Homo-oligomer: A and B are copies of this chain.
Amino acid sequence: MTINDIARMAGVSKGTVSRVINHNPQGVSEQTRQRILELIEEVGYIPNRVAGSITLARTKTIGLIIPDIQNMFFPQMVRGVEDCAMENGYTLFLCNSDSNIHKEQQYLRAFLEKRVDGILVNTCGELEDRSLYRSVCQSGIPMVLLDRKSRDFTDKPGVYVDNQEAAYSGVTHLIDTGCRKILFLGGPKGVYTTGERLKGYRQALREAEIPFQKEYITYGAYSTASGYERVRHIIEAYPETDAIFAGADTIAIGVLRALRELNIPVPGQVSVLGFDNIMLSADLTPTLTTVAQPIYEMGYRAARKLLALIGGDPEGAKSECMSTTLVQRESTRSR
């Protein structure tokens, strides 16, 4: 069933049918419009948008690449993206890169081939294949970075938070409540956010004149298991620890569990500070003090920026920095 069939059945030309299925306001009388609409309804014709896309040169589709939807940080962000996309008639391709550069490139390539109208990426780091990088740029497909800056796409706008400042405020809270021996359980080494958060940690120590000890720093996946495993080793090595700054709430969940199993009271003996404020952080035992990012909003804003870019609005080309807040709960002492 094609537009030709409808045209023939309705006794009009396909141009007319095209006008009505595209809700083209003028160019067709109300009467014929109704007649065609009824016919379409009756025979169950569904326009083929992929055929239309080739002439229109737009697919009403956007692509999103994230490391892993199973990481509790991402669902909210993805939802923000999807809501904005759908409100504007776009459908969303979702891809999980596992922070693997090869997968990321493979998906990027698929997006280019499928002619998405825009690309959103929470990048894993740097691209290896320069030709793909060039292709993305020369394709002219708008792209906005989400949450993490890219060493390759330095010219692309993005939506971020000030990770250093955010970490600084969190660690300062730890210090203000009497902590001195603060472990940093970071995310993966080399990842943008990890580095920025470490800078904030160091800045807070420096200002409080607490010596920086590199043994207190570890790197690992942004996962519960990674937090859990690291705590067990590290606490044994540094029993003087009085606080742990987890580079993400997912890591903090593992930290809390490990501490509970070790019978170490939180925050009695060690305070625990998270980062992100995922929905779950208020349901943990103890509830988690954390540096809140506007996760859903970041996704939504990034999508909105992308749509602006697609629509040719120069506003879309600017990066945006959203603000964070410290959410104090039970896992750290109060002043």
A48 within 8 A of B: yes
Q: Report A324 CB to chain B, min CB distance, Å.
A: 20
Contact with B along A1-40 (1 / 0, CB 8 A): 0000000000000000000000000000000000000000
Checking B44, B50, B86, B260 against A53 with a beta-carbon cut-off of 8 angstroms, the contacting residue is B50
Q: Judge whether A96 and B79 touch: CB under 8 Å.
A: yes
CA–CA, A85 and B58, complex, Å: 24
A316 within 8 A of B: no
The SS class assigned to the A binding surface is helix
CA–CA, A132 and B75, complex, Å: 29
Q: Judge whether A135 and B46 touch: CB under 8 Å.
A: yes
The segment from A111-119, A209-217, A234-242 that touches chain B is A111-119
Checking B44, B47, B279 against A70 with a beta-carbon cut-off of 8 angstroms, the contacting residue is B279
List the B side residues contacting A319 at CB < 8 Å: none
Contact with B along A286-308 (1 / 0, CB 8 A): 00000000000000000000000
Contact with B along A206-228 (1 / 0, CB 8 A): 00000000000000000010001
**Which residues from 110 to 158 on chain A have a C-beta closer than 8 Å to any C-beta of chain B?**
110, 112-115, 131, 134-135, 138-139
Checking B72, B114, B257, B285 against A61 with a beta-carbon cut-off of 8 angstroms, the contacting residue is B114
CA–CA, A131 and B95, complex, Å: 32
CA–CA, A211 and B135, complex, Å: 69
Q: Judge whether A78 and B54 touch: CB under 8 Å.
A: no
List the B side residues contacting A47 at CB < 8 Å: 113
Q: Judge whether A257 and B279 touch: CB under 8 Å.
A: no
Q: Can you list 17 contacts pairing A with B, beta carbon distance less than 8 Å?
A: A46-B109, A48-B54, A49-B114, A50-B53, A50-B114, A69-B69, A69-B75, A69-B82, A70-B279, A72-B72, A82-B94, A93-B93, A93-B94, A253-B280, A256-B285, A257-B283, A257-B285
